[in-house]
Amino acid sequence: MAKKLIFIWLLSLITWTVALPAQAALTVQITKSVASALPIAIPSFGPGIAGQPTVADVVRNDLRHSGLFRVIDPAGYPGDPRSPSGVKAADWTTVGATGLAVGSVEPLNGGYVVNVYVYNVSTGQELVAKRFTCSAAELHMTAHHVADVIYQAFTGKPGPFASRIAYVRQTGENYELLVAESDGWNPHPIVRGIMPVFSPVWSPDNHRLAYTTYANARAVIYVQDLATGRRQSIAPGGEIVSAPAFSPNGEELAYARSSGGHTELYVANLRTGQRRKLTNDDAINTSPTWSADGSRIIFVSDRAGGPQIYEMNASGGGVHRLSYDGNYNAGPVYSPAGNAIAFIHRTAGVYALAVMKPDGSGVRVLDAQGNCDHPSFAGNGQMILYGTQRGGRKVLAEVSLDGKTMAILHSNAGEDSQPAWSH
């Protein structure tokens, strides 16, 4: 079992070039939504940029994508208001709307001003009004911000849409680490090569990605600045390292180092290069993840005979086991609020996505339809992004923390896996 795990972990691994051609965008397919999804109307907001989805298109798709909203077909709308003066709440009850969001997209100095006004139709109350200014290149992301405003107005929680995702795409024998907006729009490669890349993670400020790769036939970790493409190698040359995880302040990186048949956890200071060892035993220890306050680290170890999830102090002491349900539990990650841990749990021969409470209790399987990998929470903690399989192909998926909503993100350009949601 130990040799098999080492083999899997050492596959986590590239050398590359930067700034390459645009890639095929992901398609979002909603496969599960709540029966009580809020019916909402989203008029047009006016035209946008030719050849691109309009602001209204993006907002409608985001809200549908969440599974919490049912967007009413625009063909039946009683009008197309773009400001408060055109809103008569009673008109929208006739199409069954509970919520309404109207707005406008207006050119300004080569860019755009985007306005949004959100209403409770039943009371006629304006819940929120917001104004955004952006460049033409930022218009699609600004539409995600609009969707976040609407999401928060009705749920009371921050929206997950104005964020980015990183993921790995395999096309034939080629691999790419891609970054895209949360709906898969505007994907662009960070690195590309003929060897696999695994375990991408975002820095807390979303300016860097850490990932595991091969260099000179050795597994290495790079921390890459997304603006400049500059890369920093972690650990001295010749070491076999994997499974990076940023500390909450972005100053340190936890990772696994394999040597002499052992795999131990270390933490490296990204500024000074100094490092400290967290574990010291004969087991395989890997997949570290920090708690939001930086005081604890969860990780995977086979010290009990198979991969299970453990927790320890960030200093390396106080190790205790969390997972006891089943003989394979791996890939753990804390939710941003620390109220849940998502992980991969083998059940009925399938590597399923599951969640549990921080103390290891209350295990719930969210997706056992295909082998899953690399769970990652949205910044609001309400959705989990992960890799899975559908129809024999690797795809990305999102599921709500309560398991009531699910969407598949896929592309005809290749197979996608190892996703990470920005903070």
Q: How far apart are CA 28 and CA 177, in angstroms?
A: 19
Q: Each residue of 109-136: pLDDT tens digit?
A: 999 999 999 999 999 999 999 999 999 9
CATH number at 35-155: 3.40.50.10070
Q: Which one-letter amino acid corresponds to residue 400? A: S
pLDDT of 23 reads 63
Question: Do 71 and 64 form a contact (C-beta atoms < 8 A)?
Answer: yes
% of the chain exceeding 70 in pLDDT: 94
Q: Each residue of 238-260: pLDDT tens digit?
A: 789 999 999 999 999 999 999 88
The more confident residue out of 113 and 10 is: 113
pTM for the model: 0.90
SS3 150: helix
Q: How far apart are CA 158 and CA 407, in angstroms?
A: 19
pLDDT of 215 reads 80
Q: Each residue of 129-169: pLDDT tens digit?
A: 999 999 999 999 999 999 999 999 999 999 999 999 999 99
What are the residue ranges of CATH 3.40.50.10070 in the chain? Answer: 35-155
Q: How far apart are CA 39 and CA 101, in angstroms?
A: 11
- Name the CATH superfamily, with its identifier, for domain 164-421: TolB, C-terminal domain (2.120.10.30)
Q: Each residue of 363-378: pLDDT tens digit?
A: 999 999 999 999 999 9
Closest CA to 123 of 70, 87, 81: 87
Q: Each residue of 214-237: pLDDT tens digit?
A: 887 788 999 999 999 999 999 877
What are the residue ranges of CATH 2.120.10.30 in the chain? Answer: 164-421
